[in-house]
Structure 1
Amino acid sequence: MPTKTIHIPMADGRADVFAAFPEHRGPVPGVLMYPDAFGIRPVLRDMAEKLAAHGYYVLVPNIFYRHGPAPLVALPAYIGEEARPDIVDRLMPLVHQHTAERTGRDADAYLRFLAGQPEVKDGPIGVVGYCIGGLLATRTAAHSSRVAAVAAFHGPVGTDGTDELAKITGRVHFGHAASDLTPQALNELNTALEAARLDYTSEIYPGTIHGFTMADTDAFDAVGSERHWEHLLALLALLDSALTST
């Protein structure tokens, strides 16, 4: 599986990004994969390569590039209960600085980069995000009509309000951790998605806690992770169909 680390010129500096794509194939659909706050690391590279093996060019950006290359803080191989609080405390100020306006500027650069790669098909792209990356994925989908499919897992989706959700034109899947969202809150979110006339699925993954897709953390849930892959691949199959029809 070909992979590379690249530096992309941005409005506010240069972003280090990780790319994975199939070998010996023609152009494939592009997918922008936003990581969680812990950023680019072995587990995210593995996830990008797994998705690329299904026939996608996957780009994973360092969302906090303004503050330095990834990883911004030293990460243990396994992020357990003892290590997590200190790491989160150090990263949360950066999360709060990542405004919707900043997300839009960055997304424009990432999408331009994808459009310029010979391995990427012209046309719509997919976006997926985890944790804070889920919010960035939904912001990107609201910002650009090029996004034909968007998925967010254990992310604070809906934070920017229903008006932003209504700007999304692509197909949506939201996979929520059971610890992040009550059934009542899910109903309220889904009512907003209905009002926005989105083509969506939005559900709580039973028995999961925040971060359940990340195999290098104590939040990981194998059943929830597999369910996430099933939903993500089914969603991106619709992206394949959209590209075929253009």
Structure 2
Amino acid sequence: MIIQQHSQDIETPTGTMRTYVYRPQADGNYPAIIFYSEIFQQTAPIARSAAIMAGHGFVVLVPEVFHELNPIGTVLGYDDAGKDKGNQDKWTKPLEHHDSDTQALVSFIGQQDYCTDSIGTMGVCIGGHLAYRAALNSNILAAACLYATDIHSGDLPSDEGNDSLTRTKDIKAELLMIWGKQDPHIPDAWRMLVHNNLLVSGNVFSWHEFNASHAFMRDEGERYDPQLALRVYGMAVELFNRTLK
């Protein structure tokens, strides 16, 4: 499908959140996917990923995940300075603020005549965590969580007992969990902690581990695996076609 793109400033309880919208050009209304980026916000690889998903018949929204902490339009570089700033933002913003961002996006989607009322989430790295976290919202029907960081530890800022690992039992959406077995940020023991917690919590989920490193979906840099990326895009499209359409 041919797609179109525009930006939308959405008001949240913690400030204006620039959001990039990718959607089919053809008239009609389509299910929505909230696509959460890495710590670097909407880089060129993230924009291309959003476009790929939109081309399969979805409205894809890419919010600036740390909008409170940066000027509108900020994109951090894939370098040491960008990593340092992005990680600082990650450890500064409470999960509760991400929750209110998600609700603002859900409300926005509900007001658009080009959207249906079916919503999924997808994300990479910290965005994988945020896609998982967003599934706590009862409006989210499915979530594709790609090499999600920091779920296992419960260390991201949040109120006591409100970390994502503890709240897993409250997720009703179907989860697609994607991991790289050579990911230094999420080693075996940490992945298994998340896996066992999903089992104990009774969640509906599928679990896939590949021989890949962190950020193997990012089509820039030496860790990119095009073959696996295509396979994972296909798995995400299958999930959302089945659960949202």
What range describes the TM-score normalised by the shorter chain of this pair? 0.7 to 0.9
1:223 Cα offset (Å): 2.4
1:49 Cα offset (Å): 1.4
Judged with a 3 Å threshold, the aligned counterparts in structure 2 of structure 1 residues 92 and 54 are, in CA distance, closer, same or farther, namely: same
- Aligned residue number for residue 35 of structure 1: 37
Give me the whole-angstrom Cα distance separating, in 2, the residues matched to 1:237 and 1:59: 17
Give me the whole-angstrom Cα distance separating, in 2, the residues matched to 1:219 and 1:71: 24
The question of whether the paired residues in 2 share the 8 Å contact of 1:6 and 1:16 is answered with yes
1:70 Cα offset (Å): 2.8
5+ long unaligned stretches in structure 2: 155-162
The question of whether the paired residues in 2 share the 8 Å contact of 1:149 and 1:171 is answered with yes
The question of 1:134 aligning with 2:139 is answered: no
Provide, for residues 66-89 of structure 1, a one-character-per-residue CA deviation record: whole Å limited to 9, x for no partner: 12123343x3xxx4xxxx323211
- Aligned residue number for residue 210 of structure 2: 205
Provide, for residues 131-172 of structure 1, a one-character-per-residue CA deviation record: whole Å limited to 9, x for no partner: 111111111112x11111001111123443543111110110
The question of whether the paired residues in 1 share the 8 Å contact of 2:132 and 2:143 is answered with yes
Give me the whole-angstrom Cα distance separating, in 2, the residues matched to 1:85 and 1:48: 25
TM-score normalised according to structure 1 size: 0.87
Q: Which of residues 83, 101, 120 is equivalent to 2:115? A: 120
The number of aligned residues is 230
Give me the whole-angstrom Cα distance separating, in 1, the residues matched to 2:203 and 2:58: 24
- Aligned residue number for residue 244 of structure 1: none
**Residues 26-175 of structure 1 mapped to structure 2, 5 A cutoff:** 26-66=28-68, 67-73=70-76, 75=77, 79=78, 84-122=79-117, 124-142=118-136, 144-156=137-149, 157-158=151-152, 159=154, 160=163, 162-175=165-178
Secondary structure of the structure 2 residue equivalent to 1:55: coil
The question of 1:230 aligning with 2:234 is answered: yes
Query: Which structure: greater strand fraction?
Result: 2
Secondary structure of the structure 2 residue equivalent to 1:118: coil
TM-score normalised according to structure 2 size: 0.87
Provide, for residues 166-204 of structure 1, a one-character-per-residue CA deviation record: whole Å limited to 9, x for no partner: 111011011112224444443332221111111101222
The question of whether the paired residues in 2 share the 8 Å contact of 1:149 and 1:238 is answered with no
The question of whether the paired residues in 2 share the 8 Å contact of 1:41 and 1:71 is answered with no
User: Stretches of 4+ moved more than 6 A in 1?
Assistant: none
The question of whether the paired residues in 1 share the 8 Å contact of 2:120 and 2:244 is answered with no
5+ long unaligned stretches in structure 1: 242-246
1:13 Cα offset (Å): 1.6
The question of whether the paired residues in 1 share the 8 Å contact of 2:43 and 2:75 is answered with no
Secondary structure of the structure 1 residue equivalent to 2:57: coil
Secondary structure of the structure 1 residue equivalent to 2:171: coil
